Amino acid sequence: MTVLAYRFALDPTPAQARALRSHAGAARVAFNWGLARVGANLAQRDAERSYGLAAGDLTPPVSWSLYALRRDWNAAKGAVAPWWAECSKEAFNTGLDQLARALKNWGDSRRGKRKGKPAGFPRFRSKRKARPSIRFTTGALRCEARHAVLPRIGRVKLHEDGRRLADLVAAGAARVLSVTVRFERGRWFASFTVETEVSRPAPRLPDAVVGVDLGVKTLAVLSTGEQVLNPRHLSGALRKLRRLSRTMARRQGPDRRAGRAPSNRWRRASAALGKAHGRVADQRRDGLHKLTTRLASEFGTIVVEDLHVAGMVKNRRLARHVADASFGELRRQVEYKAGWHGGRVIVADRWFASTKTCSGCGAVKAKLPLAERTYTCPSCGIVLDRDVNAARNLAEYGNRQIAGSGPEIGNGRGADRKTGLTWQVAVKRQPGTAHAGQTGTVPAQAGTAA
């Protein structure tokens, strides 16, 4: 069984919108209450340690597991939130569950059990900045053709057609696990988390290996020679976004220090700016889904690069374009969609010199400026687009992985950094064969997109 999410836009009535905001506020109250309780306990224990008390004499620690937080909340909710009966229990459980996950990530990060960037201690959620969200896991959870049924909220009208999900549930092919209602860009959205059996047809070319070279000028270049142009949705909407930003800046916005509330004109300008940003995000997501679905349904093996996107966005001239291309999201979609169709994704090593290597003879250039868009091999004389050359090298990388020979290491030490040395002799070879009669070292190239 596979867990999928079906997301629908909602059209709640004013009363239902107020109820949803009330539930989201209840989740925020429970989160802040639990965070204050845990933070006070940790501060008290740190203070006692500074006084020189022994470990056995310290104030007992407070458990931050979800079970313990819910137990303590049920005992204190009468005094903390006398209005608790007006909201579903799922509202408070949402906030406590989010707090338990955040504290666990913080604790695991401190102990070195969590990969990635260090997770900081959770912060209190503001009514003005926190995004309203509520997750329902029990009660009446149902998706109908035109309505979503939520506990304590009732039947909320869907802005989109939900007949497909309703038919799957009615036929017993899917089971709704939870519903997350979230306020984004001026409207409410409902995401149904569903457990179902995913069956997709096998790729049209199950034995084909395609290399995909990602870039900014051209979003994706395939080893077949096909080029997918970068639509650059953000660049196209930048003029409108700047105009809306200037309009909002001229309105009277909120000022907490002066106790000033935002004007209605500022609220309308802010909603218009958020809607414009949301349209760009929707266009980008739609294009990526169409591209990745086509790749996964056509090719049995897809080879992509392990791009260092965090380093690429540090270039102030390319940061906006790299972020607009959304390389990470494209790779994520390709990976899970290839699994649906029975294919596989091979991720080339970050230091594999796909751009500098000649796809004809295997010679490697020491330098290849980003402005040089045509690859010209000094050894075999091949001339072709640099992105097509990189895509072909990625496809060859995938063929070697399938054959079990693994990637070729240009130097005997297995260095993972470019050495800056150049090839002295380059011998023509057939694709897929090993280098022979060559001297020097292969300068590896970090995964970059052009």
What is the rounded CA–CA span in Å between residue 249 and residue 261? 15
Strands 205-214 and 218-222: antiparallel
Contact by Cβ (8 Å): 99, 64: yes
The whole-angstrom separation of Cα 282 and Cα 321 is 17
First and final CA of the chain: distance in angstroms?
Answer: 39
Strand order in the sheet with 154-157: 142-143, 147-150, 154-157
CA dist., res. 87 & res. 227, Å (int) = 53
Q: Is 387 a catalytic residue?
A: yes
* Residues in CB range of 128: below 8 A, 6 or more apart: 254, 256
Q: Which of 64, 124, 125 is nearest to 97 (CA)?
A: 64
Q: Tokens in use for 140?
A: 């009446």
Q: Which of 213, 298, 324, 396 is catalytic?
A: 213
Instruction: Reply yes or no on whether 213 is catalytic.
Output: yes
Contacts for 439 with CB less than 8 Å, ≥ 6 apart: 423, 424, 425
3-state secondary structure of 140: coil
Which member of 97, 298, 324, 387 is catalytic? 387
- Angstrom distance (rounded) from CA 40 to CA 4: 39
% helix / strand / coil in the chain, to the nearest 5?
40, 20, 40
Active site residue 305: yes
The catalytically annotated residue of 97, 298, 305, 324 is 305
Long-range contact list for 226-229, CB < 8 A, 24+ apart? 227/387, 227/388, 228/291
User: How far is 159 from 10, CA to CA, in rounded Å?
Assistant: 5
Query: 100, exposed or middle or buried, with CB in 10 Å at 0-12, 13-18, 19+?
Result: buried
Asked if 210 contacts 223 with a C-beta cutoff of 8 angstroms, the reply is yes
Q: Which two tokens stand for residue 90?
A: 């799922």
- Provide the angle, in degrees to the nearest 10, between the axes of the packed helices 233-249 and 264-298: 170
- Residues belonging to the active site: 213, 305, 387
